[in-house]
Amino acid sequence: MKKEDFLIRIPYDTFADRARRLENRIREICAASGRSPGDVKLMAVTKTHPAEAAGYAARYGLPCVGENRVREAIDKIARAGCHMRWELIGHLQSNKAALAVRHFARIQSVDRPKLVARLQRCCESEDRTLPVLLQVNTGNDAEKFGATAEEAPVLLEAALNASRLKVEGLMTIAPFDPDPSVARRAFASLRELRDRLQDRFATPLPELSMGMTGDLREAIEEGSTCVRVGSALFGPRE
Ligand SMILES: *Cc1c(COP(=O)(O)O)cnc(C)c1O
């Protein structure tokens, strides 16, 4: 049996309760840091959880779901049977670019010029425009994908020159570290990089996708506009 064939372990009410509590927490952090709560989207990350998890998110009214593997996501999109905005948040191999372009509303993990070129060609054959975020490894974590901050200008230039891609902002995954100041630094670096790139290329980059279950507070305080939450909504992944 494939993982997605298992039934979801929590009832909808438990999910809804967790989502409400998360929204309250986001509101509190926003209020304390002088931000407007409407500026921070809550994305439900459904990876490793069954298609029903996306159904819960849709029923509750969350704006989007995130998946980190193309094949796993396509399976779920077919099963979920609900209108949802699916976004790719995991590493994208070039040979899966066509599938990704066909199935996702946005790709948050664009991290190299070669992938930009590939996505542009796939968008041309699908005759679509693709919203993207550029993934930057501002925490310099050897275990994470993403362009380095130094590579970011070349990557952005390539993406801005790709007529079918619409660059909406930047994404990062902070290094896993019990010391919260490590994540905070990675998030602040992404915001500062965004500010520099906006100036240099005279282009708006409003979206900062940063923050997960464990580093939500730091991310919002440093300017996140999209937090990607899995475990706090669906429980731990095995
Ligand atoms: C899994 C994942 C998340 C969610 O992580 P949690 O700690 O479960 O909230 C967020 N972003 C990316 C890129 C992920 O792969």
| All structural domains of the chain | 3-233 (3.20.20.10)
pLDDT of residue 82: 72
pLDDT of residue 1: 44
pTM: 0.96
pLDDT of residue 236: 87
pLDDT of residue 8: 80
Question: What is the CA(163)–ligand 1 centre distance, in A?
Answer: 30
Question: What is the CA(197)–ligand 1 centre distance, in A?
Answer: 26
% of the chain residues with pLDDT over 70:
97
Tell which wins on pLDDT, 86 or 8. 86
Distance CA 181, CA 192 (A): 16
pLDDT of residue 83: 81
Residues near ligand 1 (Cβ within 6 A)? 45, 47, 68, 89-90, 173, 212-214, 228-232
Distance CA 94, CA 100 (A): 10
pLDDT at 238 over 90: no
Q: How confident is the model at residue 2 (pLDDT cuts 50, 70, 90)?
A: low
Asked whether 152 and 136 are in contact (CB, 8 A), the reply is yes
Instruction: Return the residue whose CA atom lies nearest to atom 11 of ligand 1.
Output: 228
Q: How confident is the model at residue 5 (pLDDT cuts 50, 70, 90)?
A: low
- Residues 145-169 have a mean pLDDT of 98
pLDDT of residue 73: 96
pLDDT in tens, 210-220: 999 999 999 99
Residue-wise DSSP of the chain: --GGGSPPSS-HHHHHHHHHHHHHHHHHHHHHTT--GGG-EEEEE-TTS-HHHHHHHHHHT-SEEEES-HHHHHHHHHHH-S---EEE-S---GGGHHHHHHH-SEEEEE--HHHHHHHHHHHHHHT--EEEEEEB-TT--TTS-SB-TTTHHHHHHHHHH-TTEEEEEEE--PPP-SSHHHHHHHHHHHHHHHHHHHHHHT----EEE---GGGHHHHHHTT-SEEEESHHHH----
Question: What is the CA(45)–ligand 1 centre distance, in A?
Answer: 6
pLDDT in tens, 62-114: 999 999 999 999 999 998 877 899 999 999 999 999 999 999 999 999 999 99
pLDDT of residue 9: 85
Distance CA 214, CA 220 (A): 12
pLDDT of residue 80: 86
Please identify, by atom number, the ligand 1 atom nearest to the C-alpha of residue 171.
13
